[in-house]
Amino acid sequence: MNSDPQNINHKYYQSGDVIIAGISSQSFMFSNPLNFQRHPSFEVLEDLIFLTQTYQHILALVFAVKEINDDTQMLRNICLGFNIYNTYFTGSLTYLASLELLSTWGNFIPNYKCNAQSTTIAVIGGPDSKACLFMASILSIYKLPQLGYGSSPMINDPSQQAFFQWMLPNRNQQYNGMLQLLLLFRWTWIGVIFIQDDNGLRFIQKELPKFSQSGICFDFIEPFPTVYFKSGIHEMMESWVKLYVYISDSFASVVVLHGEIHTTIFLRMFPRILEVEDKEMKTGKVWMMMAQIEFTSVPFQRSWDIDILHGSLAFAIQSKEVVGFQHFLQMRNPNVETRDGFIKDFWRQAFDCSFPTSLEEENVWNLCSGEEKLETLPRSVFDMSITPHSYSIYNAIYAVAHALQSMSSSMLKHRTISEEGQKNVLNSLLWQFHPYLRKVSFNNSVGKMISFDQNGNLVAGFDIINWITFPNLTLLRVKMGTFDHRAPKDNAFSLFVDAIKWPKRFNQQQQQQQQQQQQPSQPAARPASQPAVAACICRPAE
């Protein structure tokens, strides 16, 4: 990897009359601790760690654009293009990508565009909240519409909020759904783990008191340790071991995870840590996950057991399989998709092979042929079924296309001009595009209504997903029900309780009996580092 800190090596560009940009973190970039004794670029480690599952996000965007361009009735005389950047879960490269997509492709001059062609009409960003937050601070200055997927950041600046829309419902709806699910199963003795960012702190300070008021008590409320090398690898691992041991010693059988897309990477480390520490969990754990979390892993975990995730309950954006998407995935080939700047590094890590960079390397034993098939990979490495985050991206592309169709119909219907003239007129009017995107409403290809509320949140409910694992490293996400706050109160939940597969050591009946025997006590003192929650702190019966 290039050591230049101002360099994005993974991009994917396709020209078009108008461009939809994508800012999507696909891999982790690590560095040694900064000591201010040499340039930060020398501290960047060369090895990138790809989240192989998130490559599907890139392909969902590409597939949607292809599908729209192939539809002669969708955008007549307008061809969509795209410009996708990997921002490596880092703020500096998210800012850089935001500036680059405002410039001419291949000719980066900040704040200057050297031609009037291929105007960027909207930006889709994710899957973590920080990526959306960072890009909003740049792109809102240019009044460029943005659609966030995967996670919703806390954007407090009204001038930034005005140009941001979320491909997921209002976060309060999800919090209410989680509370109702806990009460439904009478799970009143739980643990909470959260990422210590604006979203996580708001959840602890604003939402957990509502849980307490409804009778939920907390055995522990702990932040995830930092993921980057802030104080060295040894200190980082020590903090993770401490958290894992703390969880294993807890009597809480339900743990709420308020995290991001990569949270499952650290859950999969749990059994390894306990084995090293010679510890065993006192109870089986049901992980209750936010919709931001999807199954992700890194290459060195490809052969690890995934039983720790069995029986998890997860909220997810309501989604359906998109016709033609699996076939599109099956046709990917790195020897053919030469413009795809992601595919070769994904291929190397997903198939554990290498592409020769010189004649001397052609005799390496494990060369990538390019003919490998994605459908042969374990689902713990890559999933052929569309994930909720990919489905959100697919819908976001169509939202832009439908808004563009509405705008072009409205502004050009009384004009008799050539095809080229239409494109020039449309490009000059794209600054008026945002209101059309804000008001867009349509049925997608699987018949689901897509629209946004007055705050820019997707109008939709949530699926309740049961994660079921198998020894061959297969993970199934099985829909067990839905939660939709728009329905009458008695019908907000639809859940097939008897069909849920629970963790092997988890016994629902015993858990309920234990909950009933809990006796409230005086509030227990918490360490200063632990967030305060105005709540009872219960103790399980001895």
pLDDT of residue 336: 94
Q: Which of 92-96, 213-217, 241-245 has the lowest mean pLDDT?
A: 241-245
pLDDT digits (tens, 9 = 90+) for 146-179: 999 998 888 888 888 889 999 999 989 999 999 9
**Candidates 3.40.50.2000, 1.10.268.10, 3.40.50.2300, 3.40.50.720; CATH matching 171-319+461-517:** 3.40.50.2300
43-52, 70-79, 211-220, 379-388: least confidently modelled range: 43-52
Picking from 129, 162, 164, 159, the residue whose alpha carbon sits closest to that of residue 146 is 164
Cα separation, 309 vs 516, whole angstroms? 26
Residue range 48-70: mean pLDDT, rounded = 94
Is there a cis peptide before residue 127, judged by omega within 30 degrees of 0?
yes
Task: Give me the pLDDT at residue 359, please.
Answer: 56
What pLDDT digit, counting tens, does each position of 71-111 carry? 988 888 889 999 999 998 888 889 999 988 887 766 777 77
Q: Give the 3-state secondary structure percentages of the chain, helix then strand then coil, rounded to 5.
A: 35, 20, 45
Would you list the DSSP string of 239-275? HHHHHHHHHHH---SEEEEE--TTHHHHHTTHHHHHH
Does the pLDDT value for residue 209 go beyond 80?
Answer: yes
- Per DSSP, the residues of 369-404 read -S---GGGS-TTT--SSPPHHHHHHHHHHHHHHHHH
Q: Which of these, 335, 265, 348, lies nearest to 304 by C-alpha position?
A: 265
Flag whether pLDDT at 444 surpasses 50. yes
The token pair at 49 is 């760690």
Task: Evaluate if residue 130 carries a pLDDT over 50.
Answer: yes
The dotted CATH code for 11-27+50-169+321-355+386-451 is: 3.40.50.2300
Share of the chain above pLDDT 90, in %: 50
Nearest-angstrom CA–CA distance, 241 and 311: 23
Question: What strand order describes the sheet that includes 18-24?
Answer: 11-14, 80-85, 18-24, 119-126, 146-148, 164-166
- Which residue is associated with the tokens 């903090």? 239
> Where exactly are the structural domains of the chain?
11-27+50-169+321-355+386-451, 171-319+461-517
DSSP letter for each residue of 329-383: HHT--TTT-TTBSSHHHHHHHHHT-B--SSGGGGG-TTB--S---GGGS-TTT--
- Average pLDDT of 11-15? 94
Same fold? 11-27+50-169+321-355+386-451, 171-319+461-517: yes
Residue 286 neighbours by CB distance under 10 Å: 23
Is the pLDDT assigned to residue 531 strictly greater than 70? no
- pLDDT band at residue 207 under the 50/70/90 scheme: very high
Q: Look up the pTM and report it.
A: 0.88
Average pLDDT of the chain? 83
